[in-house]
Structure 1
Amino acid sequence: MKKNLLFIGLLVGGLISFSFVNGDKPTAQVEYKVVTVVESIVPNGFGRSRMISANETKDYRDFTTTRSDDKDKDEKNKSKRDEIRVKDYEETKLLNFYNLGGIRFQNIAANDAVMTSKVNAMIAEGWELAFINTGVESEGGKGDGKGIFITRYTFKRSL
């Protein structure tokens, strides 16, 4: 009797565990969107700061060349710069980090408020913030006092 109950228990447990395995289930399709924020770190407020978001898509394969050791198989990508450019995009004006008095903390707070508004709007549209990447180019190694701070927000959502 105990062996039968053990066998039935193992059989039911095995069937339940296999019900969670579905090799035929398609993976969820997602799309990604990148919003780039470029903030000027040029002294005296001479730089430009913007939040950029493309409204059109491009296929990277149209502008990609595959290289190999066999030079005879290499093909030159003949795409033109104007084919790569995106002309349909949103450009949101932001304030520069610096003004004549130095770092302007009020400008940083204003930029944070505008960027937060964009993030909240995208989340309301069904996007999920997936990644944030940052980088800085300060003085370009030339001591010229010019530079930018870039933040890329990568969003994703299910199709």
Structure 2
Amino acid sequence: MKKNYLIFALAIAGFISFSFINKPAESAPVEYKVVTVVESIVPNGLGRSRMISATEDKDYKEFTTLRSDDKDKDEKNKSKRDELRIKNYEETKLLNFYNLGGIRFQNIATNDAIMTSKINTMIAEGWELAFINTGVESEGGKGDGKGIYITRYTFKR
């Protein structure tokens, strides 16, 4: 009889501990942060290159208009541009790709070192690099030889 109670007690203990072990952990909310790098591809070093990171948050819903087929039911957004604009952000100077002598590889290496420093700092702060998106606007179809190279780094934690 004691053997049956012991088996029953062990079975209950095993069931209880198993239910705690396999219980899925509550997931914490994920936070994202975007760092944008704008590098000038304007000849003769006349452009500006920067790394930009917002230091304040904005809620997109405050600046969104809801549209529908029924124009009378549209909820037009009344926000002003100055309400939308971020006033607190980090702006890190970078070097332009070009100088008077043409493309400057030392400038590219310098920018890479600065961007790597930012990425390493954010990783040390608990961020994980999730996505990288790039885009180039060169000459704008006008043959003016001007443009920018943009890279967006999206981090999460």
The answer for the alignment partner of 1:142 in structure 2 is 142
Q: Secondary structure at the match of 1:37?
A: strand
Corresponding residue for residue 151 of structure 2: 151
Deviation readout 1:41-83 (Å, 9 max, x if unpaired): 0000000000000000000000001101011110211100010
What CA distance in whole angstroms lies between the structure 2 residues aligned with 1:126 and 1:75? Answer: 39
CA deviations over 1:84-114 (Å, ceiling 9, x no partner) = 1001000000000000010000000000000
Q: Secondary structure at the match of 1:118?
A: helix
Query: Which residue number in structure 1 is paired with residue 89 of structure 2?
Result: 89
What's the TM-score once normalised by structure 2's chain length?
0.85
Q: CA RMSD in A?
A: 1.8
Q: Which amino acid aligns with 1:98?
A: Y
Q: Does 1:80 align with 2:80?
A: yes
Offset from partner CA, 1:100-145 (integer Å, 9 cap, x none): 0100000000000000000000001010000000000000011111
Aligned residue number for residue 120 of structure 1? 120
Q: Structure 1 unaligned segments of length 5 or more: list them.
A: 1-11
Q: Percent identity?
A: 83
Once the two structures are TM-superposed, the CA of residue 27 in structure 1 deviates from its matched residue by 3.0
Residues 3-30 of structure 1 show CA distances to partners (whole Å, capped at 9, x for unaligned) of xxxxxxxxx9xxx79x6464xx543311
Match in the other structure for 2:39: 39
Aligned pair count reads 142
- Tell me, in whole angstroms, the C-alpha distance in 2 between the residues paired with 1:26 and 1:20: 12
- Read off the aligned partner of 1:36 and give its amino acid letter: T
Counterpart for residue 5 of structure 2: none
Q: What is residue 4 of structure 1 aligned with on the other side? A: none
Q: Which runs of 5+ in 2 are unaligned?
A: 1-13
Matched AA of 2:107: N
For 1:78 and 1:113, the matched residues in 2 are separated by 43
